[in-house]
């Protein structure tokens, strides 16, 4: 199945989940429809319903592919061992659940397809704006079907969105003292489906991620890299979905910005 045909097949599956499970629940959730999985990691009835719809639809496109969804993996962590399978659909049904549960954006739907641990295609959908981004390995990045080329903001001090939430106290303090002064810091959106487009579109120049779960990052990493930016481990190794248990990831609007930040991190 060629990439364009694959995207044409995936898009209506995402829209189906959005229209049936996500947007009807937006700003209408009751307290009983929101749960805390631990550590302020929320899940809602919309997450669960959307993941089932996505899994069913994607299984019809490529029946031979394994399916690893965030909520299914939360219930059965053994699924994480399948991320390196021959083919694997990776689903984040509502990325930015904390925002969604609070009745605000941003939030989005993330779907990726990997092969032996390497992301081959990814899709990022923003239900509030209708923005649809996708990327194909060695085939480019696109927004609403048009090619995307990453471009830095051009600010004298590069714009950095750095999440300190999952860092240990020592690393968090080192980041504040030795990294933050070199950048113009902005809030993170708490939504990878929004953060990665911000990097590609020159809104943010760099981001640092400590937690690198496959459903959060597979689609976005590919999108920025195919647009000409660079997302990789701090030592330059490529991101693999079957190594998503490892901490640390740098996203940048250009390879030069990546190298600059990676060099600063290396001496911490």
> How far apart are alpha carbons 182 and 179 in whole angstroms?
6
**Token couple for 119:** 């992301």
Adjacent-strand bridge partners of 66: 88
pLDDT tens-digit readout, 132-184: 999 999 999 999 999 999 999 999 999 999 877 777 888 888 888 889 899 99
Give the pTM: 0.95
Could you tell me the fold of the domain covering 3-147? Fructose-1,6-Bisphosphatase; Chain A, domain 1 (3.30.540)
Q: Is the CATH code 3.40.50.970 the one for domain 159-266?
A: no
pLDDT tens-digit readout, 234-254: 999 999 999 998 999 999 999
Helix segments in 201-250, DSSP class H: 214-227
Sign of the Cα torsion 196, 103, 18, 127 reads negative
Residues 6+ apart with CB under 8 A from 48: 71, 93
**Token couple for 201:** 């579109």
Q: Where are the domains of the chain?
A: 3-147, 159-266
Query: 45-61 and 3-17 helices cross at what angle (nearest 10)?
Result: 150
């Amino acid at each position: 199945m060629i990439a364009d045909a694959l995207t044409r097949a995936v898009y209506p599956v995402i829209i189906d989940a959005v229209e049936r499970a996500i947007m009807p629940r937006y700003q209408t959730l009751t307290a009983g429809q929101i749960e805390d999985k631990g550590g302020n990691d929320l899940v809602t009835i919309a997450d669960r319903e959307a993941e089932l719809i996505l899994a069913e639809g994607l299984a019809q496109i490529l029946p031979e592919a394994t399916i690893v969804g965030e909520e299914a993996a939360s219930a059965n962590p053994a699924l994480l061992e399948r991320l390196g399978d021959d083919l694997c659909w990776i689903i984040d049904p509502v990325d930015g659940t904390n925002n969604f549960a609070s009745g605000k954006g941003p939030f989005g739907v993330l779907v990726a397809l990997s092969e032996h641990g390497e992301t081959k295609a990814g899709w990022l959908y923003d239900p509030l704006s209708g923005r649809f981004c996708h990327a194909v390995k060695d085939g480019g990045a696109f927004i609403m079907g048009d090619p995307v080329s990453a471009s830095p903001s051009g600010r004298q001090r590069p714009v950095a969105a750095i999440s300190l939430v999952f860092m240990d106290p020592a690393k968090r303090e080192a980041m504040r003292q030795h990294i933050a002064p070199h950048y113009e810091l902005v809030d993170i959106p708490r939504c990878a489906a929004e953060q990665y487009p911000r990097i590609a579109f020159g809104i943010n120049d760099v981001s640092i991620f400590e937690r690198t779960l496959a459903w959060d990052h597979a689609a976005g990493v590919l999108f920025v890299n195919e647009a000409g930016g660079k997302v990789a481990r701090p030592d330059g190794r490529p991101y693999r979905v079957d190594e998503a248990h490892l901490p640390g990831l740098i996203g940048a609007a250009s390879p030069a910005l990546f190298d600059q930040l990676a060099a600063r991190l290396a001496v911490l």
